[in-house]
Structure 1
Amino acid sequence: MEVLTSEAVTSAKGYDPKRAAQIYDRMAARPSWNVIAPILRIFRWSASRLFPLGIRVNVKELEKAKATMAKHPGNLVLLPTHRSHIDYLTMHHICALYNLPTPCVVAGDNLNMAVIGPLLRRCGAVFIRRSFGGDHLYTAIFNEYLKGVLRSGGALECFIEGGRGRSGKLLPPKLGFMKCIVEAVEKGDVEDVWILPVSFGYDRLLETESYVEELQGTPKKAERLLSTVSYYWRTMRAALNHKISFGRVDVGIGEPISIQEHMRIHRTKSPSTLQWDFESNSLKSVPRTPEQQSQALHLALAYRSLDQCNQCSTILPAALVGTVMLLHRDRGLTKDTLIEKVGFWQREIKARGFKILEGNESLEHNIDVVVTRILTGEGRTNLMKRHKDLLITSAFTPDERLELSIYRNQIIHIFVLEAQVAVGIQSCLRKQSAQHPDVPQEDLLLPKKDIREECAFLSYLLKAEFVYEYTKLTEKSGGSLMAVNFEKGCDVFVKKGYLEPVDGEHFRRRWPAPIKQSTLGRFCDLLLPFVDSYFLVLLGAVRLLPDQVMEEKAFIAKIQSVGERLYFSGEMDHYEAVGKETLQQAVQRYYQIGVLLHTYPPEGRGKGHAVRLAERFRSEDAMHELIARVHAFRRTTDMSLDNVIEAVKNMP
């Protein structure tokens, strides 16, 4: 075993030959086609029942990717999105069907359970811990194992989001795997590596019920053999009896990325980054250290790969129907209205160069399939409630709103730039209206500088929440991708007739017809649930004043409790803002920008990570100022902000 005798492993801190062998045995894949072949046959039979509309692969994209990778040699690394546990087998099915090398798959050791674990290992699973926790020996063995696979000419597969996304959108990437394969190229272990981004899209996820429970704060249940087999059997029986349908699976293939080529591009990028300065209330350029510059290369490669996953994904009809049902503000809608609104989103998606499902079937037929077969079912699977000829949108339970938000989040990456500008415009408009109450809204001048500042703060706050389009910085942008994005967003609303440029420094809001007014509102509604989540974290942080320490899990649970109370009291419009995944991401972002500090609970008061306020925000004035800054983006409510904060303080 070359891995265990390599210098990197034997010189690792804490090296012990016996423990190293144990780690390797638990980690290493032992692929065998004698096991893979029958499992794929079972998978294809099962998939044809669970997904009666089929598994669709964009063959044209795949052939184009193969032609690109044939230009010069390099190992294949597959980077698929991670939506469901069946992603593993779906990828193997595609590799076998279209003559791609069968990869070794980096998988969480939670799947290394009795019976299933050994089978997955024989299918190529490389089992690793969720966190290496500073274990130098474990890290060295993992890195050397991956490099060994590449040196031997093998292929790898990794879900760089680190786990299955519960909210419907891509998660921020984990960089350990990316760092390893970049080092393999830099140090000459392999000539080059081709990264092939792959996107999985589902009309409906098998794990939706458990995802909704976890988003509400229920701890994730550990995988167990009996529970896994039992769930599979119940789901298959329901599918065979036509009580439930999961629709289709769509597989998109992105443009291959050469690591050698990416490193050449990255060397020309600016060795600085933007940070928000709370003193001047503006963005400032901060130089990177050499270590940060190296990390920036890995981060850029990871986000470039995830962007390609977004670019090659196909927006399925179920995502559009779910989005319309969630965003519709009236109590119900007719089938004709549903078709009209889905058509609106289809046109907007195609106008931005993204793909929708197109075929011989009409839009009306596709919507009928979604309404009658995919989003309709028994018990908790039924999202379509009817009254005569209306679909009811006012009676969604909290569980159902969370499930529908999974569909909305499948399209948000397409509109995130316009959504940020739309929210910035609305915030600026409210401020101008308050300053000039006697001026009709159609005559108000909105300073472009003010809108830009609003968008800059909002974009910085939500920077880690979305995967933005990978763009090479140009001279026109002055080195600022944020400036390019702002101009793109403004151009959309100018072309739609919502904004009228005035003297190059101001916009005038054209008095909109109802359809234009609702267009701006639709873009706002895509983003406002995330704004509410980040607002909730700050409200929860008020309870840390002046210098309290709280276990992070308890802190997030408290935030969810606060959010539920605000939602049911009418002070928050979006129940999905209490989703655990987004709140966790918001907490991480506040760590990054220096609002919260990562610490540990006092001795004897819990285990794991804890949270406290950064020194700058340990006064009520500083916290209230920041809360008001984020609150300005939200949809206004009857209760004043001071009363909301006071109510949160008094909650048990």
Structure 2
Amino acid sequence: MDFLLMSYILYTYDLALPVIAAGMDFMGMRFVGEMLRMSGAFFIRRSFGGDKLYWAVFSEYVRTMLKTGFAPVEFFLEGTRSRTAKSLTPKLGLLNIVMDPFLKGEVFDVTLVPVSISYERILEESLYARELLGVPKPKESTSGLFKARKVLSEDYGSIHVYFGQPVSVRSLAEGRVNRCQFNLTPRHIPQRPGEEINHFVNDSAFRLVRAQEENMVLKPWVLLASLLLQNHHHGQKGGTALEELTEQAVWLKDLSRQCGAFLHWPEHAPPSEVVSSSLSLHQGLVSISEGRVQLALEQAGGQGGPEEKLLNQAVVVLSCASYRNQALHVFLRPALLALAIATSSSNNRQEVYNSFSFLRNMFSNEFILCPGATVQDFEEACYLLVKTGALQIPQQEVLITERGHRTLAFLTSILDPFLQGYQVVCRFLCEEATEALTDKQFVPAVRKFIIKHLLTGTLRYAEALSSDLQKNSLAALLRLGAVRRVKGGAEQGTLKVNKVMVNSLEDTLGGKLPTQKAAAARL
């Protein structure tokens, strides 16, 4: 829907219609695939798998579009749909291709326009949640499209499309890239980008995704989802009184705006009306009884056994979490700082920074955190929490103010599901991982381990069941060297676990061990 929506908007404003890089999945849909092609889509493989000829033809096609000015090229920087509504680590292939004509001097400049699209209610919310729980994604088909048409009778709220400030590749590259290197090889001969170019493209990609995040229009339901999840995790039986939830939402509205959120909250309407309207739109996820609001877990549980009931309830939790995740970029850096303060052994600024640096590094596969920007992120977090009145930072101390306890409690609770999710993955690798554990076996095995702990009550966050979180935690452990993937021989694809290191990381995440000293923060 995203790219058709874009084409419709551009057509309405009499702007040039783009050619659109679309996944090969859509091409197999009878009639629809051809309709999408006529709407400007060109279909590409999800992975090129080292096929040099395919890459050469594809990249030449895209470059020709740019060089001749035939049409703007529209592509999705993350490469695929996010099942969690969090931004994904950008894929660099297409960005490399569209920057290439400028780097080789074939065009004067290339302009990149980040576009943010936010849906008040996601059509596939439960489908995405089930995919995260291991249910295979249904194949796109025309018959499936017609069978699903009944969902269109429901209310899905509004869609916001925000076109960000155009970004000039020429201005991005100024002083950072020496284009003379491209004069040494004929332009028609493909060449592998050097380290300097890779670093430049990667940095540009993260900047663009950050721009997309900052331009995301958030609706009140995003804040309500955050509050309802936290209230559920804190064990509020019977739900939260509607008046109390409204008060919490108003408080969070002010906090989010202080942190820079692009929030669409109808100011002309009373807060109670705004909250009631949002709850009504998402009535499949919430239950309202006798003036109290809670997640609709009882209705979702069904009549099956404990495990089936748990998984059905997890669909509601993960669906709700996908809306909360839309606001994570607003609170992420302050939340990392709040968590660092909570896990540090003292309020010494350097120790807090060390904890912040460790947590940021640990979660860099989970969230969009620009490489090499730890100090800037720490300074931004300090600035925002001082601005909101939650912290005071005199000299070498980080002090929590009287009014700051509520803010920091909310921020740490936002990251708690991820923190405990990573810890339980570490525990699985230490306690139950076998010598023959492979990538393919990892997610089902860790899911089984998590279900056991959820049923016994030793883990309270059903969000740990998300395959996205599990894969990201494994990626972090691989990057940190705590787990090693065997690349050759009979054991190819096997995961070798350094249990001492994994156990140490789990303890550090829980604040049991001090973090190692990081580079000094500039404050």
Aligned equivalents of 2:432 and 2:196: distance in 1?
A: 34
Give me the TM-score of the superposition, normalised by structure 2: 0.85
Q: How does 1:407-446 map to 2 (within 5 A)?
A: 407-428=323-344, 432=345, 446=347
Structure 1 residues 524-533 or 99-108, which shifts more? Answer: 524-533
Cα pair distance change 1:585/1:424, threshold 3 Å: same
Cα pair distance change 1:578/1:246, threshold 3 Å: same
> What do you get for the CA RMSD once the two structures are aligned?
2.6
Shift of 1:499: 4.3
Matched, 1:105 2:16: no
Q: How does 1:486-497 map to 2 (within 5 A)?
A: 486-494=378-386, 496=388
Greater share of strand: 1
Aligned to 1:46: none
Shift of 1:354: 2.7
Matched, 1:298 2:201: yes
Matched, 1:457 2:358: yes
Aligned to 2:445: 558
Kept in 1: contact 2:219–2:265 (CA 8 A): no
1:311 to 208, 214, 220: 214
Aligned to 2:56: 140
Kept in 1: contact 2:118–2:160 (CA 8 A): yes
Kept in 1: contact 2:117–2:159 (CA 8 A): yes
For residues 233-267 of structure 1, give each alpha carbon's deviation from its aligned partner in whole angstroms, at most 9, with x where no partner exists. Answer: 2212xx1xxxx311111111111111111111544
Shift of 1:594: 2.5
Q: Secondary structure at the match of 2:161?
A: strand
Q: Structure 1: 5+ residue runs without aligned partners? A: 1-85, 269-288, 377-381, 433-444, 471-479, 635-652
Amino acid at match of 2:375: A
Aligned equivalents of 1:554 and 1:361: distance in 2?
A: 51
Aligned to 1:50: none
Shift of 1:496: 5.0
Give me the TM-score of the superposition, normalised by structure 1: 0.69
For residues 603-648 of structure 1, give each alpha carbon's deviation from its aligned partner in whole angstroms, at most 9, with x where no partner exists. Answer: 6x9xxx83412xxx53x433322222223389xxxxxxxxxxxxxx
Cα pair distance change 1:163/1:462, threshold 3 Å: same
Kept in 2: contact 1:544–1:612 (CA 8 A): no
Cα pair distance change 1:171/1:633, threshold 3 Å: farther
For residues 170-229 of structure 1, give each alpha carbon's deviation from its aligned partner in whole angstroms, at most 9, with x where no partner exists. Answer: 111111001111112111232211111111111111111210110111122221221222
Aligned equivalents of 1:205 and 1:102: distance in 2?
A: 25
Structure 1 residues 577-586 or 522-531, which shifts more? Answer: 577-586
Matched, 1:627 2:503: no
Q: Secondary structure at the match of 1:386?
A: strand
Q: Structure 2: 5+ residue runs without aligned partners? A: 179-191, 299-312, 514-523
Shift of 1:119: 1.3
Aligned to 1:94: 9
Aligned equivalents of 1:395 and 1:230: distance in 2?
A: 27
Shift of 1:326: 1.1
Aligned to 1:129: 45
Aligned to 1:258: 168
Aligned to 1:21: none
Aligned equivalents of 1:534 and 1:100: distance in 2?
A: 46
Cα pair distance change 1:390/1:126, threshold 3 Å: same
Aligned to 2:155: 245
Amino acid at match of 1:151: K
Cα pair distance change 1:353/1:624, threshold 3 Å: closer
Cα pair distance change 1:508/1:257, threshold 3 Å: closer
Shift of 1:493: 3.9
Kept in 2: contact 1:203–1:316 (CA 8 A): yes
The percentage of counterpart residues that share the same residue type is 24
Shift of 1:545: 6.3
Matched, 1:369 2:277: yes
Shift of 1:105: 0.5
Aligned equivalents of 2:296 and 2:127: distance in 1?
A: 24
Kept in 2: contact 1:598–1:610 (CA 8 A): yes
Aligned equivalents of 1:290 and 1:134: distance in 2?
A: 16
Q: How does 1:160-559 map to 2 (within 5 A)?
A: 160-231=77-148, 233-236=149-152, 239=153, 244-264=154-174, 266-267=176-177, 291-328=194-231, 329=234, 330-331=236-237, 332-359=239-266, 360-372=268-280, 374-376=281-283, 382-393=284-295, 395=297, 397-428=313-344, 432=345, 446-468=347-369, 481-494=373-386, 496=388, 498-501=390-393, 504-509=395-400, 512=402, 516-542=404-430, 548-559=435-446
Kept in 2: contact 1:500–1:507 (CA 8 A): yes
Matched, 1:119 2:41: no
Kept in 2: contact 1:147–1:184 (CA 8 A): yes
For residues 72-123 of structure 1, give each alpha carbon's deviation from its aligned partner in whole angstroms, at most 9, with x where no partner exists. Answer: xxxxxxxxxxxxxx11211111111122211111011011112221111111
Number of aligned residue pairs = 479
Kept in 2: contact 1:203–1:317 (CA 8 A): no
Greater radius of gyration (CA): 1
